């Protein structure tokens, strides 16, 4: 428990530093998101055993990093270079990546099962897109990191509230096979905790940071995004259970890997990004 608390505190400190640095230099968060995305792809493919091939895993990691860095690359590359490599077209980037992976699959087909073939293409795309969504929320300067704070209210705060509520009064298991410790009482406690903290955050931004906030609208969508976060958490737990592993990695002592800490955050960020586009 001590190791978990210390590493958690260090992780929070690093995250806060990156968030504040990104308010001045957006490149900081894109680079950090790209690194995390590459690590997450490694965890999802190689560490789980879905794809036990270092070359294919490496290609997936490189693709995920480049995909997340696209907005940054677009701002620094010349027109001639952009026309040559065509990173402006998402479909083109994904198509080239898929062709490379299929070619590698033909070469190493004896080592890769059918689920591995699908995973080596689909998982890097999903993970990279989610991290790109997370990074794009951070770089919206007009709201002064409000979107990011909301994501953590819907994920970390909800998860903390659910844990303590579940320990105290949790009786009815929500997903006994996938995650035996989760309870319906914990879920309700997580939603209530998230609503309370989200309300406080909205008041803070509205009164002290001069950011226009539709508090009622945000409170109405809060339970939905808490549920989306739980879905991400359960999905990650199911994958680990299927692969017979405890954690995706060992990068964060006491917490596991990147995917262990970002599973609900990534799911929420992707869904929130869609809502903002609408």
HEC per residue, 171-234: CCEEECCCEEEEEHHHHHHHHHHHHHHHHHHHHHHHHHCCCCCCHHHHHHHHHHHHHHHHHHHH
Arithmetic mean of pLDDT, 151-176: 90
Provide the CA 148 distance to its chain's centre, in angstroms.
12
State pTM to two decimals. 0.87
Distance of CA 109 to the CA centre of its chain: 30
Q: Give the pLDDT score at 79.
A: 53
Nearest to 146 by CA among 204, 192, 195, 193: 204
Which residue, chain included where needed, has tokens 């990691």? Answer: 61
Q: How confident is the model at residue 76 (pLDDT cuts 50, 70, 90)?
A: low
Rg (CA), the chain: 20
> Which is more confidently placed, 35 or 210?
35
Q: Is 15 exposed, middle or buried (0-12, 13-18, 19+ CB in 10 A)?
A: middle
Confidence of residue 139 (pLDDT cuts 50, 70, 90): confident
Q: What token pair was written down for 30?
A: 């894109």
């Amino acid at each position: 428990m001590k190791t978990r608390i210390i590493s958690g505190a260090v992780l929070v400190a690093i995250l806060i530093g990156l968030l504040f640095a990104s308010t001045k230099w957006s490149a900081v968060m894109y680079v950090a998101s790209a690194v995390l995305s590459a690590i997450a792809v490694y965890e999802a493919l190689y560490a789980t055993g879905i794809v036990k091939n270092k070359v294919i895993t490496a290609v997936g990691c490189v693709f995920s990093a480049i995909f997340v860095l696209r907005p940054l690359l677009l701002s620094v590359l010349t027109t001639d270079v952009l026309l040559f490599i065509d990173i402006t077209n998402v479909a083109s980037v994904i198509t080239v990546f898929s062709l490379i992976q299929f070619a590698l699959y033909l070469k190493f087909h004896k080592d890769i099962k059918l689920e591995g073939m699908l995973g080596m293409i689909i998982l890097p795309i999903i993970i990279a897109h989610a991290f790109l969504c997370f990074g794009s929320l951070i770089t919206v300067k007009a709201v002064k990191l409000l979107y990011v704070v909301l994501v953590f209210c819907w994920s970390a705060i909800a998860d903390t509230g659910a844990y303590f509520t579940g320990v105290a009064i949790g009786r009815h298991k929500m997903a006994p096979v996938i995650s035996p410790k989760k309870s319906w009482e914990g879920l309700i406690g997580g939603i209530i905790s998230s609503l309370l903290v989200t309300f406080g955050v909205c008041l803070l931004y509205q009164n002290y940071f001069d950011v226009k906030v539709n508090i009622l609208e945000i409170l109405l969508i809060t339970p939905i995004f808490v549920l989306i976060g739980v879905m991400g958490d359960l999905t990650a737990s199911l994958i680990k259970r299927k692969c017979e592993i405890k954690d995706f990695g060992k990068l964060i002592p006491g917490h596991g890997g990147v995917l262990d800490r970002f599973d609900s955050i990534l799911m929420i960020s992707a869904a929130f990004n869609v809502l903002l586009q609408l």
